[in-house]
């Protein structure tokens, strides 16, 4: 699972389209291609969820496109305010601090409802209560060691999705339990951003919230493509998803590692308190960002056979595994 950690922007996946990589030159080519089709293209970037985010949209009216991007960033901020561990004033941070939250934010409720359903579906392989493991591993790594078994076992006593109470107007945590929704929040944010853009009539868009969503077409009229960085060489592409529409999420051992060999990292197996060691990364494409994000993390824990069964049970989803070797 994904607790509070700083993402490494050098390890981000790479967006590609028919015009090539989306850098400064690529953006200029995007705009020229859009203008040739009578479209105004705009890209807006910022910081959210501890990483860089970027929203790209195209439409016939530049004013509408700009308004759509403003709405998209407002949607991002609303999700952050509900469930980001990078914000000490978020609803989730307050829930972890107090153990109870009344009249909870609807975004937090939606995220937690999905998290608990996925926990039940995976037999606990996905579990939003692994947050208590984070300080154990991060603290040991800061000292240049690994946590001893007693520390891990003590943290595991606070882990278990059944320790969460979710009612329409109240969320409760058993004493010592803390939640992380970082394994879902960026995919969910992509959903909310895309919904905000659609509400403004935007048909062609690409959103990067740390996970990815695409609708319509590239500014030159060809399908969007998504490049996936090699987990061991971020300057290289491991694969390209083409055409790319819908949503994609990647979970990997590289965003935050506690050991040089990446055997210990920020994704935890809730059964052992240690990191799963099957894969360096898992990418899932799905009809929603929330589903893609959750499935990719669950697959890291379940392994290839279990992960394939899980993804196969969800219509419109596909998975790519990258082994440690």
For 73: left if phi > 0, alpha if psi spans -120 to 50, otherwise beta; the answer is: alpha
Asked if residue 297 belongs to a known ligand binding site, the reply is yes
Rounded-to-integer distance, Cα 5 and Cα 49, Å: 9
Rounded-to-integer distance, Cα 10 and Cα 233, Å: 10
Q: How many CA atoms lie within 13 A of 15 on its CB side?
A: 27
Helix residue ranges, H only, the chain: 24-36, 62-83, 91-98, 106-121, 133-142, 149-156, 185-199, 289-312
Residue with tokens 């491991």: 238
Residue with tokens 């009578």: 38
For residues 273, 317, 183, 20, the Cα torsion angle rounded to the nearest 10 degrees is: 120
Rounded-to-integer distance, Cα 210 and Cα 208, Å: 6
Rounded-to-integer distance, Cα 210 and Cα 255, Å: 11
Rounded-to-integer distance, Cα 83 and Cα 49, Å: 10
Asked if residue 293 belongs to a known ligand binding site, the reply is yes
Per-residue DSSP letters for 33-95? Answer: HHHHTT-EEEEEEEEETTEEEEEEEEES-HHHHHHHHHHHHHHHHHHHHHH-TT-TTSHHHHH
Asked if residue 230 belongs to a known ligand binding site, the reply is no
Rounded-to-integer distance, Cα 322 and Cα 315, Å: 22
Query: Which residues define the annotated binding site?
Result: 183, 293, 297
Query: Which residues define the annotated binding site for Mg(2+)?
Result: 183, 293, 297
């Amino acid at each position: 699972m994904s607790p509070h950690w700083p993402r490494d922007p050098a390890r981000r996946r790479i967006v590609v389209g028919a015009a090539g990589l989306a850098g400064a030159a690529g953006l200029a080519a995007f705009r020229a291609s859009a203008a040739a089709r009578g479209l105004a293209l705009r890209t807006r970037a910022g910081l959210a969820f501890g990483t860089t985010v970027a929203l790209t949209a195209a439409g016939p009216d530049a004013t509408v496109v700009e308004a759509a991007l403003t709405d998209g960033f407002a949607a991002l901020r609303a999700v952050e305010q509900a469930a980001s561990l990078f914000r000490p004033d978020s609803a989730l941070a307050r829930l972890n601090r107090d153990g109870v939250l009344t009249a909870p934010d609807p975004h937090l409720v939606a995220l937690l409802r999905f998290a608990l359903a996925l926990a039940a579906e995976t037999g606990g392989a996905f579990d939003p209560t692994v947050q208590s493991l984070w300080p154990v591993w991060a603290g040991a790594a800061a000292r240049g060691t690994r946590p001893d078994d007693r520390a891990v076992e003590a943290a595991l006593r606070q882990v278990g999705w059944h320790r969460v109470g979710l009612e329409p107007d109240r969320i409760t945590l058993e004493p010592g339990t803390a939640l992380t929704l970082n394994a879902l929040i960026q995919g969910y944010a992509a959903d909310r951003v895309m919904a905000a853009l659609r509400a403004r009539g935007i048909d062609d868009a690409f959103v990067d919230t740390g996970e990815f969503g695409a609708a319509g077409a590239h500014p030159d009229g060809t399908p969007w493509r998504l490049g996936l960085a090699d987990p061991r060489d971020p300057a290289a592409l491991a694969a390209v998803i083409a055409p790319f529409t819908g949503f994609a999420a990647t979970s990997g051992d590289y965003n935050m590692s506690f050991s040089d060999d990446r055997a210990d990292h920020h994704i935890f197996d809730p059964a052992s308190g240690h990191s799963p060691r099957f894969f360096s990364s898992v990418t899932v494409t799905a009809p929603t960002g929330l589903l893609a994000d959750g499935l990719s993390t669950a697959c890291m824990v379940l392994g290839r056979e279990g992960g394939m069964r899980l993804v196969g049970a969800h219509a419109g989803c596909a998975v790519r595994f990258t082994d440690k070797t």
